[in-house]
Chains A and B, each alone.
Chain A
C-alpha cells in the first residue's frame, strides 16, 4: 500500500501533469500590510524544495496559503489542482510542524500519534488491521518501533519529530510539508532527520521544507525558494549559494549561513 506515493509521483512527473502546489500572483496580509506579495511558484511531484527566509519573512504564512489554511487576498492558490481552501483529501498531505503545535502535556503514546495519520482514511470508522500494520511499519521506518507505547511527552525533541514524520508516513501522503522541523532538536538527530527526508524523497515523496537553517537547506534540498515578503530567489540549491539573493533577502544577517552550522 505504501508504494502508492512512488507510483503516483512516477505518473505525475510525466510532462503535462498538474503541479502539487501552484501559486499565481498571491498576495496576503493579516492586516492591510502585506505579509507576502506577488508570489508565483509551482511545486511538482518528486521535488525536494525548501523555503528559506529571515524571521518574519512570511515563510509560515506562505505555507498556510499553500495548504489552504489561509486564503489569498489576491491571486490563486491550488493544491493538487484544486483551489487550496477547497482541497479536502487530507490523506495526500503529511504535515510536520516545528516541535509540533501539538498539545504538550497530553498523555498520549507514540503509536496513538502515528495512528492519527490513518484518520483521513478511516473517517468516523475504526482502524482496520491493515491500518494498524501501516502504523507499525511507519514506526519501524523511522526507527521508533521500540518507543511505540511511550508517552510522547517523555521523548526528546528528535524522537518526537521522528514520531511526527511517522504520522505523515502512516497517512501515505505524497506531499510532505515540514515547518521548521528541526527547531529544538539536537544536532545528531538533525542529521538523521535530514537523511530520512533524503531517503523519503528518493522514494518519490515530494518534500517541501520551511527552514531557518540555511546550511541544512543548501546541503539537502534540490531547490531553494528564498523569501522575504517577495520571492528573492527560486532555483537550484547550488545556484542559490552563489547568488546574492541571500544577502538581499536577509540584509545584514546574511552571515547566518556560516553561523548556524
Chain B
C-alpha cells in the first residue's frame, strides 16, 4: 500500500462519508464570518474559532445526553477512565505517524482505542458482575501510563504536542478533527435517538428491563461505546483531564431543578451549551484555557442550580395530593 501523507484522514473509502461533513464545515464557517461581519465580534473572525465553536456546541449536546444515562447509574467516572485511554489512543496515533508515517489523525486512533477499552471495561464488569472503582482505576491508569510511555519512547519532538491533548486547545481544532467530531456527533445522536426508550429503561431499572425482554448487556455495551466516542470528541477542546466534567456537571445541575426525565435531558443540554458558549467567550477574551474556563462556568451554573432547587422545594411545593382508591374495575371498563 502506498500512502499519500497529506490526504485528510487517509480515509479514501470514507470520503463519501466525510465529504458532506467538510462541506458542512465550510457552510458553517461562512455563516460565522457573516455573523462576525454584521455584529463586529472579533472572536468570530478566525476560521479556527468557527470550528471551535461548532465543536463546542456539538459537545454541549452530546456530552450531557450521554452523561444523563451514566450519572444515574453511578457510572460518572467511566468518562474519566475512557478519556485517559483516549490519551493512550492519541499516543498510539502519534507513534504510528512517527514510525510508519501513516498521517492518521490521532483523534481517530483515540476513538478506536477508547472504544476498545470501553468494551473491555464492560466485558470485565459483565464477567465479575459489578462495575467497581478498582477496575475503573486500573483502566484509567493503564491508559495514561501507556500514553506517556509511548510518547516518551518517541523523539522528544512529540512531547511538545501533548499539552493540546491533555488540556485541550481551541486554536488547534483542525478541519480533520472537526469533521471527525461531526461524524461522532451524528452517530451518537442517531443511536441515542433510536434507542432512547431502551436506554432509559436499562438506566432506571436494569432487572425490570431484562425481564421485559431487553438485552441489558447489549445496551450497556452500546452505552460505553457511545461514551468513548463522546469523550474523545470532547477531548479536543476540553482536554483529557477535564473532559469527564462535561458528562457529569451539567447533568448534576439539571437533576437539581428538573422534575421529569425529559426535562432533565433538556435542561442539562441547555446548561452545557451555556457553559460552552460563555466559557469559550471568556477564555478567548481572558486569554485562558477554554477547557478550564468551561468547567468553571459549568460548576458555577451547577451551584446556582442547587440553590434554585433548594428554593423550589422550600417554596414552590404544592401540598400532597390525595392518594386515590385502588379501583380494579378500571382495568375492566377499558378498551372496546
A contact residues vs B (CB 8 Å cutoff): 1-3, 6, 67, 69, 87-91, 93, 95, 97, 100-103, 105-109, 112-113, 116, 119-120, 122-124, 134, 137-138, 140-147, 149-151, 159, 162, 167, 169, 171, 177, 192, 195-196, 199-200, 202-203
Contacts of A1 in B (CB 8 A): 334-335
Query: Which residues 318-336 of B sit at the A interface, judged by CB distance below 8 A?
Result: 321-328, 330-332, 334-335
- Shortest CB–CB separation between residue B98 and chain A, in angstroms? 44
**Interface status of B260 (Cβ within 8 A of chain A):** yes
Other than the known A69-B207, A108-B261, what 12 A-B pairs have Cβ atoms closer than 8 Å?
Answer: A2-B335, A67-B210, A103-B204, A105-B72, A107-B258, A108-B204, A108-B260, A143-B324, A149-B260, A162-B326, A195-B326, A196-B328
Within 8 A of A (CB), among B253-286: 254-255, 258-264
A95 near B335 with CB under 8 A, answer no
CB-CB < 8 A to B326: which residues of A? 141-143, 162, 192, 195-196, 199
A97 proximity list for chain B (CB < 8 A): 205, 207-208
Which residues of the partner chain A approach B334 to less than 8 Å between Cβ atoms?
1-3, 134, 137
B147 to chain A, nearest CB (A): 33
Q: Is B194 an interface residue (CB 8 A)?
A: yes
* B213 contacts chain A at the CB level, 8 A cutoff: yes
Q: Which of B194, B207, B213, B264 contacts A89 (CB 8 A)?
A: B213
**Could you tell me the distance in whole angstroms from the C-beta of B328 to the nearest C-beta in chain A?**
4
B262 in complex: contacting residue of A112, A143, A147, CB < 8 Å: A112
List the one stretch of B26-34, B163-171, B195-203, B288-296 in contact with chain A.
B195-203
Measured as residues with beta carbon below 8 angstroms from the partner, the interface class of chain B is: 35 or more
Which residues of the partner chain B approach A150 to less than 8 Å between Cβ atoms? 259
Q: Which chain B residues have a beta carbon within 8 Å of chain A's beta carbons?
A: 72-73, 194-195, 197-198, 200-201, 203-208, 210-214, 254-255, 258-264, 321-328, 330-332, 334-335
* Beta-carbon nearest neighbor of A167 in chain B: B208
- Please, how many angstroms separate the alpha-carbon atoms of A120 and B208 in the complex? 11
Contact A69 B323 (CB under 8 A): no
Contact A3 B335 (CB under 8 A): yes
Knowing A143-B325, A177-B211, the reply to whether A203 touches B261 (Cβ < 8 A) is no
The contact sample of 20 A-B pairs, CB cut-off 8 A, is A87-B213, A91-B212, A95-B208, A95-B212, A97-B207, A100-B205, A101-B205, A101-B207, A102-B204, A103-B203, A107-B258, A108-B261, A109-B260, A123-B197, A141-B326, A143-B324, A143-B327, A146-B324, A147-B323, A151-B260
Smallest CB separation, B325 vs chain A (Å): 5
Please tell me if the beta carbons of B263 and A107 are within 8 angstroms of each other in the complex: yes
Closest CB-CB distance, B252 to chain A, in whole Å? Answer: 10
The 7 closest A-B pairs by CB, nearest first: A90-B213, A143-B324, A90-B212, A199-B328, A146-B321, A102-B205, A95-B211
The answer to whether residues A109 and B332 also contact, given A143-B327, A146-B321, A147-B323 and a CB cut-off of 8 A, is: no
Looking at B72, B204, B264, the one whose CB has the most chain A CB atoms below 10 A away is B204
Nearest CB in chain B: distance from A14 CB, A: 22
Do A95 and B207 contact each other (CB < 8 Å), given the known contacts A124-B195, A143-B323, A144-B323?
Answer: yes
B218 CB to nearest chain A CB (Å):
12
Tell me whether A200 and B328 are in contact in the complex, defined as CB-CB below 8 angstroms, given that A107-B255, A112-B261 are known contacts.
yes
In the assembled complex, the Cα of A69 lies from the Cα of B255 at a distance in Å of 31
- The answer to whether A2 and B331 touch across the interface, beta carbons within 8 angstroms, is yes
